[in-house]
Amino acid sequence: MSGIFSLVFLFFVAMSAVTTSQGSVGVCNGRFGNNLPSEQETVDLYKANGIKRMRLYAPSQKTLEALKGSNIELILDVPNVDLQSLQSDATSWVQTNVRPYFPATRIRYIAVGNEVDPDKETSRYVKLVHPAMESIYRALTVFNLQDQIKVSTATYSALLTADSFPPSKSAFKDTSFMGPIVGFLARTRAPLLVNIYPYFAYKSDTTNIQLPYALFTASQIVVQDNPYGYRNLFTAMVDGMYYAVEKAGGAGVEIVVSESGWPSAGGVAATVENGKTYYTNLISEVKKGTPKKPGKEVETYLFAMFDENTKGGEPSEQHFGVFFPDKQKKYQLNF
């Protein structure tokens, strides 16, 4: 009996090492730059600043190795371009990118695809996301890791219908795409990863969205939605996604904010002052939960660790870092 007890005890110790809360805020480790610190230096900077969660956008053997023993929890992405190769069997992917590192590297979620959208250039990946999620889940079960590492995808607010205001009216515009994904998440007890950007919502509609509402500085309720009052756009967007997930059959599915940030240059209202205000208030706000989910911390990943000088898109895309590439702090933040 003592031997059985010891095995059971060790199992629960191992499980607690994976599931223990690390606090609600992590930082995304984007690598689109030609002047960024090495992978080891980056991990060291996370540790030095008490950042206990990371999102990594593609398997990087150097980063996965550097994370060993760091106690930093990880979202590990499967890039969109890799989804086709994982439609039927992801065992090799798990053997290459998970098994050599876990649990010394604390992989918590695998994000299968990022911001795949039926109405955008990523539409060619729509039919690939859910099958790849199922494939990776099956591969994890081969090694009995399916309860320790959760499989999800990273989506964004653009997948909601145009009339998703107030939050309670939110719904997915393409349930044939998101319905099976939400069903998978409910069945496997995994969260939906969502990139939430009040900045882009404000930038696209400065007439109807006031800057204080986007920066968490509104002095009073801006949006009243049945019993819930919203003073900031972030929590309204998070709750909108909760409503959409519930309508798609995922009443018990949690939301993890896999990206959120504010640029310091390159666009409308993109200043260091606004960036500091946004990140500082975001870190404080997520600890409180949302009007729909009060008291429940919103696990959130700031975007991003560094300014990325080779990232494409609008100029602001290169200025979301909370650190400069020389590892100096852009803002004084308490992670």
As a whole number of angstroms, the distance between CA 56 and CA 49 comes to 18
∠ Cα 64 70 75 (to 5°): 50
HSE-CB at 110 with a 13 A cutoff on CA atoms is 31
Buried b / exposed e over 274-283, threshold 16 CB at 10 Å, is: bbbbbbbbbb
Q: 42 φ, ψ to 5°?
A: -65, -45
Residue showing tokens 């002052």: 273
Cα distances (Å, whole numbers) of residue 122 to 55, 139, 194, 204: 21, 25, 16, 21
Selected catalytic residue, list 39, 73, 259, 285? 259
Contacts of 12 (CB under 8 A, 6+ apart): none
Is residue 39 annotated as part of the catalytic site, yes or no? no
Intra-chain end-to-end CA distance of the chain, in Å: 44
Q: Are 178 and 166 in contact (CB under 8 A)?
A: no
As a whole number of angstroms, the distance between CA 317 and CA 62 comes to 25
Is residue 297 annotated as part of the catalytic site, yes or no? no
Q: Are 152 and 111 in contact (CB under 8 A)?
A: yes
Cα distances (Å, whole numbers) of residue 134 to 24, 139, 141, 178: 27, 9, 11, 14
Q: Are 120 and 76 in contact (CB under 8 A)?
A: no
Provide DSSP, 96-115.
HHTTTTTTTSEEEEEEEEES
As a whole number of angstroms, the distance between CA 306 and CA 320 comes to 7
Selected catalytic residue, list 39, 115, 299, 308? 115
Known catalytic residues are 115, 259
